Chains A and B, each alone.
Chain A
Amino acid sequence: MEVKDIFSYDWSYLLPEFIILGFATGLSLLDLFAGKRLGKQAIGLLSLVGVLLATTFVFVNMTTLDQPYSYMADMIRIDDYGNAFKLLFLGGTAFTILISLSYLNQGEVAHRGEYYYLLLSGLLGAMVMASSADLITMFVGLELLSLSSYVLVGMRKKSLHSNESAFKYVVSGSIATAVTLFGMSYVYGLTGTTNIYEISQRLAEAGMMGYQFIIYMAFAFLAVGLAFKISAAPNHMWAPDVYQGAPTPVTAFLAVVSKAAGFSLVFRLLLISFLQVPSAEGPFFFVQGSLYLGLIAAASMIIGNTMALKQTNVKRMMAYSGIAQAGYLLVPFSPPTTLFFSEVIFYLFGYLLVSFGAFAVIMAVAKEQQTEDLKGFAGLYHRSPVMAISMTIFLLSLAGIPISVGFFGKFYLFMGALAQENYWLSGVMIVTSVVSYYYYFGIIRQMYMRSGESEAPLAVPRGIWLLVLLLAIATVFFGVFPGLVTDYIQVNFNPAFDFGNMLPS
């Protein structure tokens, strides 16, 4: 491996990260020196500009790079896999900022500036997670995202719920970090390197030399620790409490951006590191590893969908629904099919549209009713038909009912599992999906068939109204023409079926 000095790299491919970093530091300085004189929304709008600027440079990278570009022995690796996930993160953060602009007017979050640049640093962590191929940078990215979201969750300083959920998040998050790191330390011990492509080869050698037990243990530790970030089964307990206590836009951020970042890390780390490990029954990853991940997926789907049935708080219900969604998303990965990358990106894209729409409606209703209870939705159809119909579309999409983007997302995952003859997992998926209809329709029942306390029109900020309407239209549009997105993903990110250049060349 030849040594390159830092000036011999073309740093322009890192512009999206640099822009987010620059905006986060720049805005914190601006807030420090001119915070009082700026308008209330200034920092929020500026951070939105930063996110959009970074998005354009991700598109530039997509067109200029046809080979993965690696910095410092894959410490950072710019490839299509990372770019696809980065677009999801940037889109998710842009939506978070848009709903935050209205949310912060409620006055519960005193520190507007901090709120936005913590969002940006969390986004930076997510972007590093998606595009690193080294244990150390993966870990640092993971922690940057985690630490930012711990603080964001506790941003409503005067609210006991917010404090409590933030503390629960810190404790469970740190335990999960320690478990992940413990797994990583065993991987390092067997391979002596932190680069995952070298790990891939050396773990295979170690497997041949009879260190199978330590490899299994490392896999189990990594899977359990990383399940925290995607809120999957053994480590899902934090989700309901944290989702309930966090400010609603932050809940949406955790549900989409943080979860997608977790998936980007899980897929790359587990797949590449353990891909070549042999075992007596065949390749370890496709036999034992996939069974283990399949059990995690099944447990998440079952726990998420059954626990959601008895929730009365909407945000808690969305948390359990999110646990179930994490389960669905693990289905194509256990074992991975050739199409799993496209399926996952499509599903996450649909999930992004739907979640932000649903959380925006929840925010508007909860603000007006002063409660996050399910009953707050009673009679919504008579008070604001647009909101009620949009919410119906979002819920149908989450449930996976046709003519919505969620239906095709789930349909692709399901067909992928069937093609792998993974019948038990697809069976669990179908049964739990049917169970989930009950609680999604619970909200719909409230909106149309119960009468609320008042019939007065719901006061919705105009920005939120427009955003919800656009997201609802997008949900239906991509539900009618899912091919537009799948073709785009296939052509731009995954033309060679190598999961967006993720596989070692």
Chain B
Amino acid sequence: MTVSISSYLMVALILFCVGLYGALTKRNAVVVLISIELMLNAVNINLVAFSKFGLHPGVAGQIFTLFTMTVAAAEVAVGLAILIALYRNKATVNVDEMDQMKR
């Protein structure tokens, strides 16, 4: 039994939109970072699906996913480190309280 490419793409698109929605609306900074991970993983689903069912199937897509996963991990690590630094100065992880610079 094979699943068609469009199903994979649809899952990825939905995951991307859920992630984007979460990143833009959630108050908790950690949840925002998790939502960003969802967006990046949607990309991975796309790449792996395309490397099997794309117009020109090949292994490059799977190699690309390895890079995106690694970089996504690094990105979250930096994000969490900055969040901890922020938490030390102002004991909150709520994004809507980070409004010191609004004018």
Contacts and interface: CB of A to CB of B under 8 A. Distances in A.
Nearest to A175: B23
B10 interface: no
A143 B46 CA distance: 20
A174 interface: yes
B89 interface: yes
Q: How large is the interface on B (under 10, 10 to 19, 20 to 34, 35 or more residues)?
A: 35 or more
Contacts of B49: 189
B101 A164 contact: yes
Contact of B55 (A174, A185, A192): A192
Q: How large is the interface on A (under 10, 10 to 19, 20 to 34, 35 or more residues)?
A: 35 or more
A140 B82 contact: no
Contact of B100 (A164, A188, A193): A164
A57 interface: no
B74 to A, nearest CB: 6
B103 A312 contact: yes
B78 A170 contact: yes
A157 B101 contact: no
Contact of A190 (B29, B54, B85): B54
B18 interface: no
B101 A136 contact: no
A29 B20 CA distance: 39
Contacts, number: 149
Interface in A145-174: 146-147, 150-151, 154, 157-161, 163-168, 170-171, 174
A143 B54 contact: no
A244 interface: yes
A145 B68 CA distance: 15
Nearest to B46: A185
Contact of B32 (A143, A165, A171): A171
B75 A147 contact: yes
A290 interface: no
B85 A174 contact: no
A136 B67 contact: yes
A229 interface: no
Contacts of B78: 147, 150-151, 170
Nearest to A211: B55
B101 A245 contact: yes
A459 to B, nearest CB: 28
B83 to A, nearest CB: 6
A164 B98 contact: yes
Nearest to B79: A170
Given A177-B75, A186-B46, A188-B64, A150 B82 contact: yes
A185 B47 contact: yes
A372 to B, nearest CB: 11
B89 A160 contact: yes
A426 interface: no
A192 B60 CA distance: 7
Given A143-B71, A185-B43, A189-B55, A174 B79 contact: yes
A430 interface: no
Contacts of B86: 160, 163-164, 166-167
27 contacts: A135-B64, A136-B63, A136-B64, A143-B75, A154-B82, A160-B90, A163-B89, A166-B85, A166-B86, A167-B29, A167-B82, A167-B83, A167-B98, A171-B79, A171-B95, A175-B36, A178-B36, A184-B43, A185-B46, A185-B50, A189-B54, A189-B55, A192-B50, A192-B58, A241-B101, A313-B103, A316-B103
Smallest CB-CB A-B distances: 7 pairs: A192-B56, A189-B50, A178-B39, A185-B46, A163-B86, A181-B43, A170-B79
Interface of A: 135-136, 139-140, 143, 146-147, 150-151, 154, 157-161, 163-168, 170-171, 174-175, 177-179, 181-182, 184-186, 188-194, 202, 206, 211, 240-241, 244-245, 311-313, 316
Interface of B: 12, 16, 19-20, 23, 29, 32-33, 36, 39-40, 42-43, 46-47, 49-51, 54-58, 60-61, 63-64, 67-68, 71, 74-75, 78-79, 81-83, 85-86, 89-90, 95, 98, 100-101, 103
Given A150-B82, A167-B98, 6 more contacts: A163-B89, A163-B90, A166-B86, A167-B79, A177-B40, A192-B55
